[in-house]
Amino acid sequence: MGAAHLARPVRCGACKAPIGPVAEPIEADAAVFDEVLREATAPVLVDFWAEWCGPCRRAAPDVKHTAETMSGRAIVLKVDTEKHPDLAARYRVESIPLFLVLKNGLVVSQQAGAVGHAQMTRWLEAAGA
């Protein structure tokens, strides 16, 4: 499924069964990240994180919950800064977790530090989700 279709229901090309919008965080490398930013029409929440980061691990359930509840209205990406330092450098990530909300490829909000599901939802709704 192309990035343009991640936030809306589509049908399987083979069997024509309905496929709902993505309802979980997507682990993104540079190629996936760039495709989503280029093609997505919905706001995108990006969680820059690392396995060793305690606050990142504590925020993970809220990130997952946000992906579930905002399914069809927003896309949630997770970028492991250890595996993809190029993406972290692109957005000048100096501390994690770092959350970005992008709309049409542009940063509309950014915050370092763990936040809860309610705040993530507010950011996405403010971006048009």
| 12 is known as an active-site residue | no
Question: Which of 7, 36, 40, 56 does the annotation list as catalytic?
Answer: 56
Question: Within 13 A of 129's CA, how many CA atoms are on the CB side?
Answer: 27
Alpha carbon distance 53, 72 (integer Å): 29
Question: Which of 53, 75, 76, 88 does the annotation list as catalytic?
Answer: 53
Alpha carbon distance 93, 111 (integer Å): 10
Catalytic residues: 53, 56
